[in-house]
Amino acid sequence: MTLEHLVQNWTVRKPLAHSRHGVVASQNRIAAAAGAKVLAGGGNAVDAAAATSFALAAVEPWNCGLGGVGFMLIYLAREKRVQVVDFGPISPRKLNPADYPLTGGFTTDLFTWPTVKDDRNVHGPLAFAVPGHVDGIGLALERFGTRTFSEMLQPAIDLAERVSAFAPVPDSRVFLTSGGSDSIDTATKMARRYWQLVGQPERTVFVNRQHAYHGMHLGGTSLAGIQANVAGHGPLVGDVVTVPWDDADALRRAIERTGPGRVAAFFCEPIIGAGGVFAPPEGYLQAARKACRDLGVLFVADEVITGFGRAGAWFASDRWDLEPDIITCAKGITSGYLPMGAVVASPRVAETFFSPGAGVWRHGYTYAGHATVAAAAIANLDIMERERLPGRALDLERRLADALAPLANHALVEEVRAGTGVIAAVQLSVERLKEPGLAPAVIAACREAGIMTRALATGALQVSPSLVIDEAGLSELAEGIRAGLDACV
């Protein structure tokens, strides 16, 4: 194994510590600093890597296989080769580097680990030390310590390609944003800009649905079907027509009444979320899609909640064969660990923006496609794919509904809405909701019982468990909500 081999196949993305005497890498910053100290004190690379490895065993023993210290790689600058030193009780004795060629892949559990061909993985932490020869430090910093601008962009490009590959319409293009509200406002501008570019600038009207929630920016607030969210801000975006949430004929009539040549886009959550959790009535989404197609209106699927598995498919649009012109998404793309959103534009829309004379679309956000967040999103999607979470969600939706169903008989409950997607609502009694303090009291009591929930617009308790919840978790969820309700009867 040579350094070249390492560099080609494996990028060190571990905390680095360096002094003018050398560079040390480990998955833990404290451990890396320990090795750097040895180099600074005149120790050689072997000593430094050993110090790193032992320090790691102290701070993260769970990574060190039975308390051993695993293996480490030492770059011998003078000889320009990497030496593997085996310390661990688990890793094979007399380890020959040639038997363990690195594949360039990573495992993505708690930390990234290099993978070894044929899965003959070497247990133990990685400590990597480069002694302080000028060429050693220079090479290491050049290879590992700097990033070019194009390298910085690479995670965003990779993520966009990845999301495009999941998209219901082939060859879709992806516009990264910083969250769901960004995605919605981007979609409103994208839709209007599209119509300008294709020579129909009079198409400016947006159609939304009762109960709709499309985020908190100005565009999204204007599109809200939850009146409480619209009120109190003075005039918002004009040109919004609201239709019933469950009637595709009413949508068609509203578009015709407005004048089909006036409507830019219809915004539609496949499963209404914050507005109360309302699953689409049988056939509704397909009929609404058809009305938009017949009348030339862009269909925007707001999949901020349903995107990335929660509706039992990568996109709810797949589940109901919607082939939207535009999809907005966020949350699930990183499983919420870091802020990121995306707008997926089908070729019909996207290509217009690249047509001759279209010019630059003057729209974008500082943090859109942030490299760290994009890398986290990719790691998240890797895990979701490996664990087949969208498929699991499809199975989970029924089990979630079964777990919550008995709550429907509770004195404080009007109905339980569940069974489509891993999302549900426990609707509090309409009569009892006339008591103003009821919903906050139930939420506080649920919290006492270990369950976090919130009241949706209709006075329903929102339930959105993680896609990996198990039977015990489902029982705990239902029992906790029951305990919260019991406390408030």
Ligand X SMILES: Cc1ncc(COP(=O)(O)O)c(C=O)c1O
Residues binding ligand X (CB under 6 A): 179-181, 184, 213-215, 269, 273-274, 302, 304-305, 330
CB atoms within 10 A of CB 404: 24
Q: How far is the CB of 119 from ligand X (least distance, A)?
A: 39
Measured from the CB atom, the residue of 144 and 267 that comes closer to ligand X is 267
Q: How far apart are CA 237 and CA 258, in angstroms?
A: 16
Question: Which residue has the closest beta carbon to ligand X?
Answer: 180
Q: How far is the CB of 280 from ligand X (least distance, A)?
A: 14
Q: How far is the CB of 413 from ligand X (least distance, A)?
A: 23
Identify the DSSP state of 278. Answer: B
Q: How far is the CB of 201 from ligand X (least distance, A)?
A: 27
User: Are 468 and 384 within 8 A, CB to CB?
Assistant: no
Burial of 20 (0-12, 13-18, 19+ CB in 10 A): exposed
Measured from the CB atom, the residue of 50 and 345 that comes closer to ligand X is 345
Strands (E) located in 5-160: 16-19, 22-26, 71-76, 81-86, 102-108, 112-116, 127-130
Q: How far is the CB of 336 from ligand X (least distance, A)?
A: 9
Q: How far is the CB of 313 from ligand X (least distance, A)?
A: 16
Q: How far is the CB of 275 from ligand X (least distance, A)?
A: 9
| Parallel/antiparallel/unpaired status of strands 173-177 and 341-345 | antiparallel
Measured from the CB atom, the residue of 68 and 215 that comes closer to ligand X is 215
Q: How far apart are CA 363 and CA 320, in angstroms?
A: 31
Measured from the CB atom, the residue of 86 and 269 that comes closer to ligand X is 269
In 3D space, the residue among 283, 280, 257, 252 whose CA is nearest the CA of residue 268 turns out to be: 280
Q: How far apart are CA 421 and CA 269, in angstroms?
A: 13
Q: How far apart are CA 263 and CA 169, in angstroms?
A: 22
In 3D space, the residue among 231, 175, 96 whose CA is nearest the CA of residue 349 turns out to be: 175
